[in-house]
Amino acid sequence: MSITARFYANTPDGKEVTLFTLENSKGMKAEIINYGGTIVSLYVPDKDGKLADVTLGYDNLKGYLEDDGTYFGALIGRHANRIEKAEFELNGVVYKLAKNDGENNLHGGIKGFDKQVWDAEIIDWEGKEGLQLTYFSKDGEENFPGNLKVKVVYVLSEDNGLEIHYYAVSDKDTVVNLTNHAYFNLSGHAAGSISGHELMINADQFTPINNEGIPTGEIRDVKGTPMDFTKLSPIGPGFDSDDEQIINGKGYDHNWVLKVSGKEPEKAAELYDPASGRVMEVFTTKPGIQFYSGNFLKGSGVGKGGAVYNKRSALCLETQYFPNAMKHKHFPSPILKAGQEYKHTTIYKFSAR
C-alpha cells in the first residue's frame, strides 16, 4: 500500500487542499482530499478485473464548495443525520442547533466537518501507510458543547478494504456521531440507476421515521416489510412500494438496528451488483446503519467527467448511532463524556464474483 500527495486546490479563503492517492498492489485506488476528508474517487475491480470508479463526486473543489446538500464522499460530524427540532438536552442544558433541514438539524449543521479543511499527515499504521486527518472543533462550533479533537485515519488494505478509523475526545460532555457519506454505484459512478443492486443488512429491526425523516422512537421488525434485507435481495422492488415507511422516506432513508457487538468491526451489510459482479461488504463497530437510496439526487450540478447524477443513481450505507438518539433514551447513546475516547471503525471491503 502506498500513499502519494499532490496539490488539489486552494479554498476561497486561501487554505491549501491536498489530494491523497491510496493504492494497493491489487490495483485498487482511493483518492481523498482533506477538504471534508472527502473520498473523491474509489477505483475497484469487477469480475474481469476491470477497474471502475464506484463513488459519486465532482472533478474539482468548486464542485464540492457549491454542492447543494448531497455530502458526496464527505466525513460527517459532529452529529451525523437528524436531530429533531434542532435541539437536544444534555446535563440539564438545552443546546439549540441550526435548522438546516426544515425544522431539524442535519449532518452537523450549516458548516459541519464536511466543509472544513482538515490537517493531513501520512502516518505509519501498523506497518502500513495511513492517511491521518485531524480537526479541532471548538467549544460552541455549530452550538455543540466542548472542544472536540477529532482524528480519522483512512487505510487501504491489501484485501481491498477501505478502513476508516474514527477517534474523538472532548473537554466537556458532548454528542458525537461520525460517519462517511460516500454514494456508491457498483457499476460505476455514472452508470445510472442502482435498482438492480442487491443488498443484505445484518439486522432484524429498523427505526421507523415520520414524514420528516426523524425516527419516532419505535423499533420495528423488518419481517414482512420492504425493509427486510436479512437475505441478499434486490432493492428496486421496494422503491415504488406503497409502504408508509417508504412514502415517509421518499424511498429508503432509514436506520437499521445492527446485530453487531460493537467490540470489533463485524459484518453490517453486503451490496452486490449482478451487472459488474462487484461486491461491497461493510464491517463496523457502530450500532446502526443508514441505507439512503439517493432519493434527493436531482441531476443538478455536473458530476465527475460531466456525469449527471439523477434520483437513485447511487446509494449510501452510513454507519452511525441512530438518528435523534438524544430524544429516545432506549437508543444507544451518542453522548461522549469529557475525557473519554470515541473510537469506531468502519470498513468498506470490495471483491467480485
Binding residues for beta-D-galactose: 81-82, 181-183, 253
Least Å from the CB of residue 323 to ligand BGC: 7
Task: Spell out, one character per residue from 266 to 295, where the chain touches ligand BGC: x when CB under 6 A holds, - when not.
Answer: ------------------------x-x---
Q: Do you find a cis peptide bond into 353, omega within 30 degrees of 0?
A: no
**H-helix segments, the chain:** 61-65, 236-239, 244-249
What number of residues does the chain have?
353
- Known catalytic membership, residue 270: no
C-beta closer to ligand BGC: residue 253 or 273 = 253
Residue whose grid cell is 501507510: 129
Q: Shortest gap between Cβ of 106 and ligand BGC (angstroms)?
A: 6
Distance between CA atoms of 346 and 285, rounded to whole angstroms?
Answer: 7
Cβ atoms of residues 10 and 33 within 8 Å: no
Residue 186, SS3?
coil
- Which is the catalytic residue, given 107, 181, 189, 344? 181
Q: Are 179 and 320 in contact (CB under 8 A)?
A: yes
342 counts as binding ligand BGC under rule CB under 6 A: no
> Per the structure block, which three cell numbers stand in for 102?
426544515
Structure letter (DSSP) for residue 14: S
> Of 92, 112, 90, which is closest to residue 101 (Cα–Cα)?
112
Q: Which of 197, 318, 328, 344 is catalytic?
A: 318
Residue in 8, 125, 167, 296 binding ligand BGC, rule: CB under 6 A: 296
Footprint (CB under 6 A) of ligand BGC, residues 213-252: 213
Active site residue 84: no
Tell me: does residue 208 bind ligand BGC (CB under 6 A).
no
For residues 17-76, which are near ligand BGC according to CB under 6 A? 69-71
Which residues are catalytically annotated?
181, 318
Residues that bind ligand BGC (CB under 6 A): 69-71, 81, 213, 253, 290, 292, 296, 318
